[in-house]
Structure 1
Amino acid sequence: MKFGISTFVNDDTIDPVTLARAIEERGFDALTIAEHTHIPASRETPYPAGGELPDVYYKTLDPFVTLAAAAAVTSSIQLITGITLLIQRDPIITAKEAASIDLLSGGRFGFGVGAGWNIEEMRNHGTDPRTRGALLDERIEAIKALWTSEPAEYHGRYVDFDASYLRPKPVQSPHPPILIGGDSDATVKRIVRHGAGWMSNPLPVPRLTKRIEQIRQATDRDVLLTTFGTPVKANYWQALEELGYRQANLLLPSVPRDESLRLLDDYAKVVADYRG
């Protein structure tokens, strides 16, 4: 199993360039970046983890800008959105941004996407929370069309455009891996529908087991399993490996440069000890 780093990069943490270099220098395999455009000050939606919502959610840098900076100073690590809130994004612009990073990085981009949880945030983007699942499906399909066809067109209920040219195309063929975030029956169906992988949060092992069994019962292909926010716990890593995970992206807290580098050193040592 490979190990990457997942984090919220913001305006008072380690900068993306230093972070990306440090991750690659320490032998990690990926940098996975979260996304929130903003957080409405008046909010009824509860924080899924419970308690007060950490301020990193509204401080976080744009993931595509962050990963482009990382692409420019690295040569091997995978660059992943974890996750892109595609229900809040224009699919044509997102297709171009993602393909551009894949090109600039030499084919190292991973496209994590999801339907989001913050109702007020998505409403500010004009998204109806009741139809966000269907909207997400159409935007994924439209982006895949733009990546793989020339000209490309898509005609759905929520996304509709006639034959159009869009460059660049991704380096990866047929396109970068798509990773669906979430924990629901709808998530399982979406993974199967789009031929995608699953980017899970650090759920309890029995919950992971249930979802993976559902996925495997629904498709006969090998589904890519990866994570966001994995704790630095060797027994949890072992459970992930036994479930068939190919990569665990360890959670790096959003802290300043020196503390981030110290934690990355600590994580690298724990990973080395785990691998023996």
Structure 2
Amino acid sequence: MDFGIGTFVTDEGIRPDVLGRAVEERGFTALSLAEHSHIPASRETPYPTGGDLPRVYYRTLDPFLALTAAAVATKNLRLGTGITLLIQRDLIHTAKEVATLDLLSGGRFDFGVGVGWNREEMRNHGTDPATRGALLNEQLAALKEIWGKDEAEFHGEHVDFDPIFSWPKPVAKPHPPIFVGGASKAALNRLAAHGDGWIPTPGAPPEELRRVRKWLAEQGRTDVPFVVWGAPAEQAVLDGYVEGGVDQVNLMLPTLPEGETLRKLDELAAFAQANR
């Protein structure tokens, strides 16, 4: 099993270039960052795990800019999003941002995507929460057209554009790996149709992980890595992921100032080393 780091990079914590270098030096495989463009002040949609929304959600840096800083400071570290809220983004700009990051990192980008949970945040971007799944499906198909063709076009119900030119193209072929988050029927169908890897729901039990693995095999998808995002460094939790056949666990790193972050990374690295 491989180990990475999942975290929120904010204006109040360690810089992403320093973080990336520290993560790589400690032997982790990957660094994956969360995304929220903003948090609506209404706070109508409840936080999925209950309680108050943690402060880091309000202050996240743009993941593509932060990961570019980490890319420049590292050589082999995989760089990912967990997850990009693609349904809230301009598709063509995002195609260029992903391809640019993948190019600058030498093909080290893992593109995590999902439909998100904050409905007011979506609406502020002009996204209808009721159709966000269908929108994401079309966006993923359209991205592959843009990345894979010199002259790309797409005509769907939610995404529609006439032939365009867009460079750079990604270094990774045929495109950066797409990791689909979520465990609903719609999310799993999206994974089978468009994804290269799966980000399970945090805390998914071994039997659920095995069920999804079996279902994917029935769809002809026996090549899908499972990558958990933001797992606690707890032996019982990790043992469940091992039993469920998870390929990589991105341990949750709290957002702290540089010195405290480095000390916490040392602790997580020791946990990972003991379980390799």
Tell me the TM-score normalized by structure 2: 0.96
Shift of 1:201: 3.5
- Give the aligned partner of residue 225 of structure 1: 226
- Give the aligned partner of residue 268 of structure 1: 269
How many residue pairs get aligned? The number is 275
Shift of 1:196: 2.8
Q: Secondary structure at the match of 1:229?
A: strand
Equivalence map 1:198-217=2 (5 Å): 198-205=198-205, 206-217=207-218
Q: Secondary structure at the match of 1:232?
A: coil
Q: Secondary structure at the match of 1:79?
A: strand
- Give the aligned partner of residue 81 of structure 1: 81
Q: Distance in 2 between matches of 1:174 and 1:44?
A: 40
Equivalence map 1:14-25=2 (5 Å): 14-25=14-25
Would the aligned equivalents of 1:103 and 1:170 in 2 still touch at CA under 8 Å? yes
Equivalence map 1:65-144=2 (5 Å): 65-144=65-144
Q: Distance in 2 between matches of 1:16 and 1:243?
A: 32
| 1:148-183 CA-partner distances (Å, limit 9, x unpaired) | 111111111111111111111111111110001112
Would the aligned equivalents of 2:56 and 2:255 in 1 still touch at CA under 8 Å? yes
| 1:77-102 CA-partner distances (Å, limit 9, x unpaired) | 00001100000001111010001111
- Give the aligned partner of residue 52 of structure 2: 52
Residues 94 and 159 from structure 1, CA distance in 2 versus in 1: closer, same or farther, beyond 3 angstroms? same
Q: Distance in 2 between matches of 1:27 and 1:220?
A: 30
Would the aligned equivalents of 2:83 and 2:112 in 1 still touch at CA under 8 Å? yes
Shift of 1:267: 0.8
Shift of 1:215: 3.1
Q: Distance in 2 between matches of 1:74 and 1:220?
A: 32
- Give the aligned partner of residue 186 of structure 1: 186
Residues 105 and 174 from structure 1, CA distance in 2 versus in 1: closer, same or farther, beyond 3 angstroms? same
| 1:2-30 CA-partner distances (Å, limit 9, x unpaired) | 10000000010111011001000101010
Q: Secondary structure at the match of 1:87?
A: helix
Would the aligned equivalents of 2:8 and 2:33 in 1 still touch at CA under 8 Å? yes
Would the aligned equivalents of 1:83 and 1:181 in 2 still touch at CA under 8 Å? yes
- Give the aligned partner of residue 257 of structure 1: 258
Deviates more, 1:203-212 or 1:166-175: 203-212
Shift of 1:234: 2.7
- Give the aligned partner of residue 37 of structure 1: 37
Q: Distance in 1 between matches of 2:149 and 2:204?
A: 40
Q: Secondary structure at the match of 1:111?
A: strand
Would the aligned equivalents of 2:63 and 2:81 in 1 still touch at CA under 8 Å? yes
Q: Distance in 2 between matches of 1:129 and 1:220?
A: 29
Q: Which amino acid aligns with 1:170?
A: P
Q: Distance in 1 between matches of 2:185 and 2:231?
A: 22
Tell me the TM-score normalized by structure 1: 0.96
Q: Which segments of 5 or more consecutive residues in structure 2 lack a partner in the other structure? A: none
Q: Distance in 2 between matches of 1:219 and 1:74?
A: 36
Would the aligned equivalents of 1:36 and 1:60 in 2 still touch at CA under 8 Å? yes
What's the C-alpha RMSD, in Å, of the aligned pairs? 1.3
Shift of 1:197: 1.4
| 1:101-136 CA-partner distances (Å, limit 9, x unpaired) | 111011100000011100000000000111000111
Would the aligned equivalents of 1:27 and 1:268 in 2 still touch at CA under 8 Å? yes
Q: Which segments of 5 or more consecutive residues in structure 1 lack a partner in the other structure? A: none
Shift of 1:208: 3.4
Percentage identity across paired residues of the two chains: 55
Would the aligned equivalents of 2:180 and 2:195 in 1 still touch at CA under 8 Å? no
Q: Which amino acid aligns with 2:182?
A: G
Would the aligned equivalents of 1:201 and 1:230 in 2 still touch at CA under 8 Å? no
Q: Distance in 1 between matches of 2:178 and 2:95?
A: 12
Q: Secondary structure at the match of 2:84?
A: strand
